[in-house]
Chain A
Amino acid sequence: MVQTEAAMEAYNAYWMNSPLPAADVLWMVVILIVAILALWQARTFVSQF
């Protein structure tokens, strides 16, 4: 199944008013950065405790 035009329109509308550039991609980048930071801290935590 592919996304319908209406679904893509509704999806793209979410990022239209964002003050950030390329918000439709940036939210994924932010999540990846926070997730990697958490994972890195967890690795450090395992070696410390």
Chain B
Amino acid sequence: MDLQSLKKQENQRRIRKGFMWALFCAILWGLWYIPGTVVWVLNPFDEMYAEIAATNGDGMSLIITAVLITAFNALTVILALMVWNGVLGKFGEMKRTLKEFNPCSKWFFLASIFGGPIAILGSFIAMGFVGGAFAAVAALMYPVVGSILASKWYGEKISKRAFAGIIFIIIGGITIFGGGLLNEIGAGNVVWIGYIGGLMAAVGWGIEGAIAGKGLDIAEPDVGLTLRFLGENIIWWVIAVPILAILGFPMFKYALMVFEPLTMLVLVFAGITFGFCYVTWYKSFPLIGVGRGQGIGNLYGLFAVVFIALFFGDIPSWTILVGGALCLIGSSVMFSEDAGQLESLRGE
């Protein structure tokens, strides 16, 4: 076999792996909705929600409780990522990357600001002030922001075919959540802060992907993502939670009450799904590019609906079936892209 064929074969293998990681991300992200939903009804979060809602209203209570749940989620994600890096033998690499703050770690800490308090908090704000379907649709827009930024910032090539795939998946996602979205917006009592939250989610995750793509030029995704979550833990536990406690919210009271077997079990499974979904998302970027990685990762909308139907028994409506079909068309368009098109992810 000549050098050219070997190069082509290697390239095809790299792309296959890239799509595989993005698909793992979508499946695990979809699965995350199971522990991510049920944790809200468990103690101490249900009591925390009730206590804050009684004095500050439902919207504010949802956001404050979400901050504590997200902080614990970030903590269990770090535990899951320690297992991931331990199995892969990457602790030495982690120490090296952490020491190299200027060329490496700063990108991941920056990514944690956009992914954590901007995107995740924005998503919860959208959920609290508009509704869950709107939050999901708003988040689906992030590959558009990510691919435009990656293209402008470091010349990542995004073919017309890949862009068409991303658009198909986004339209599919909008169709999936369409019924709920129309009901929520039609309800009439929508506050503008909910739309700001939706914008924060799309822009935050899009920027995070583009920044991570830059950091991943010189660092490993497994290690880079762990540092990104180290940054997010600092943001929640050193800044956000203490500030909210100073403002008078019972953050530490309920944080100390979380050590209950079922609550911990659900949080651990949320950590495994969220941590592994994020690490596979980051792993796909250097192999197929930020735009494609985020586009395929967007299939989480479809997987979330499927898993919710399977485990919660919520029967999908026809809009979900049509949206699912559109998502599958979009993925096929991207999967079937000629490997030669993806040989170089960046513009020369």
Report A's interface with B, CB cutoff 8 A: 1-4, 6-7, 10-11, 14-20, 23, 26-28, 30-32, 34-35, 37-39, 41-43, 45-46, 48-49
Contact = CB atoms under 8 A, between A and B. Distances in A.
B273 A35 contact: yes
A27 B42 CA distance: 17
A32 B280 CA distance: 16
B24 A18 contact: no
Contacts of A35: 28, 272-273, 276
A19 B41 CA distance: 22
A42 B222 contact: yes
Interface of B: 13-14, 17, 20, 24, 27-28, 31, 34-35, 37-38, 41-44, 46-47, 84, 87-89, 222, 257, 259-260, 262-263, 265, 269, 272-273, 276, 280, 283, 307, 310-314
B313 A34 contact: no
Contacts of B24: 34, 37-38, 41
B87 A39 contact: yes
Contacts of A38: 24, 28, 276, 280
Given A27-B311, A31-B34, A38-B280, 19 more contacts: A2-B260, A3-B43, A3-B260, A4-B43, A7-B46, A14-B312, A16-B313, A18-B312, A18-B313, A19-B313, A27-B34, A30-B31, A31-B273, A32-B272, A34-B24, A34-B31, A39-B87, A42-B222, A45-B17
B130 to A, nearest CB: 23
Contacts of A27: 31, 34-35, 269, 307, 311
Contact of A20 (B17, B20, B35, B310): B310
A42 B17 CA distance: 10
B36 to A, nearest CB: 12
B contacts with A: majority SS = helix
B88 A43 contact: yes
Given A28-B269, A38-B280, A42-B222, A11 B311 contact: no
A2 B42 CA distance: 10
B27 A34 contact: yes
B311 A46 contact: no
Nearest to B263: A3
B260 A1 contact: yes
Contact of A1 (B27, B43, B272): B43
Given A31-B272, A35-B28, A15 B262 contact: no
Top 7 nearest A-B pairs (CB, nearest first) are: A17-B313, A10-B41, A18-B313, A1-B257, A27-B34, A27-B311, A7-B43
B43 A19 contact: no
Contact of A18 (B37, B263, B310): B310
